[in-house]
Structure 1
Amino acid sequence: MGIRQMREADAGAFFNLKKRLDDETSFMLFEPGERKEPIEEIRNKVREVLRRDNHMIWVVEKPEGLVGYLEAVGGRVRRNRHSTYLVAGILQAWTGKGLGTQMFTVMEEWARQKGIHRLELTVMTHNRAGIALYRKMGFEEEGVKRHSLRVAGRYVDEYLMAKLL
């Protein structure tokens, strides 16, 4: 049990983890009940991830099942293949236990091995825990995406954060 690269067999559990995260926190992109992809579409996405050399998903597996993930989405063309966009989520019961730090450490080692130079992500400006983790891992704010999202009827800003390897 621990952090590992996702396998095709994880597709259903991964989808359920994402739905749980949507229900637990407003910091994820999807609202509760909005995620409706058929399981075969999830399996196809996992297959695509496993085929690409600059794209990966790590999951945190505990006896209870999957409790967190970190996805690295690499650029698809020559001009941005050196860059990877990150998305992370950890169930509330497992936050503050060092899993985020561990996932980002594993991902960065992978990124260096793959020759990736730029890691980037967005985070809502009021997500203090997320911002603290990203700063701890060496990410810096590069700008603000004003009114980037609409959450609970209010416009929300996001920081664009990045780290150069």
Structure 2
Amino acid sequence: MKMSPRVFQRNDLFYIIRSATEDDAKELSALRLQVDGETEHFDREPGEGFIDEQGFQELIGQDTRSRHCLFLVAEAEGNLVGFSRCSGSELKRLSHHVEFGVGVKKTHWGFGIGSNLLKKSLKWADQQQMKKMTLRVLETNKHAMDLYKRLGFEVEGVLKADKRLSDGKYYNTVMMAHFFSGEEK
């Protein structure tokens, strides 16, 4: 599904959040690879689960045609600096629910890009009459967890010793959810 673009400003940075287009595919492939290497907060190490230009074109095309999916990008100074995706299901038993994921270049942290991608996604999900949005966050990512809680997410569960990081230790993944329209939890 597509959403109309919106311009944001934080400090001296102007950026646009808009729906991804197939023309973004090549840049998205490189951006995702870069973001994966800048933090251990993601599931992937650089190069793992690589999606090439054609793969992103197909994914964006599918998401654009689906009422259960939303693929957004953040663009600053003519370059993509972040992205988010809500992925839902056409299956009736799951069609009320979407899963959210986000990535922002480290050079662009602190400008509210991830926060605004999430806010725009929450608004979209509510307009689509979704009942629930979920996400997964590594327990060490306290900044993200605080943001999610401020935006109405709550902890649903913990996957213990779910990820092994570069220090050789295992860390928990926290599963969080946002419920719309006063739905029962």
**TM-score when normalising by structure 2:** 0.84
Larger radius of gyration: 2
Aligned length: 165
Amino acid at match of 2:82: G
1:136 shift after superposition: 1.4
Aligned residue for 1:90?
Answer: 104
Gapped runs of 5+ residues in structure 2? Answer: 1-14, 181-185
Name the CA distance, whole Å, in 2 between partners of 1:154 and 1:97.
Answer: 31
2:33–2:50 CA contact under 8 A, matched in 1: no
Aligned residue for 2:6?
Answer: none
Q: Structure 1 residue aligned with 2:173, among 145, 158, 161?
A: 158
1:76 aligns to 2:94 (yes or no): no
Amino acid at match of 1:15: S
Structure 1 segment 13-162 matched on structure 2, within 5 A: 13-152=27-166, 153-162=168-177
Q: Secondary structure at the match of 1:33?
A: coil
Amino acid at match of 1:104: L
Name the CA distance, whole Å, in 2 between partners of 1:127 and 1:143.
Answer: 16
Change (3 A) 1:91 1:38: closer
Higher helix share: 1
Gapped runs of 5+ residues in structure 1? Answer: none
Aligned-residue sequence identity (percent) comes to: 27
The answer to which of 140-149 and 95-104 deviates more is 95-104
Question: RMSD in angstroms over aligned alpha carbons?
Answer: 1.3
Structure 1 segment 1-20 matched on structure 2, within 5 A: 1-20=15-34
> What do residues 85-116 of structure 1 show as CA deviations (whole Å, max 9, x unaligned)?
01011111111221222112211111111111
1:64 shift after superposition: 5.0
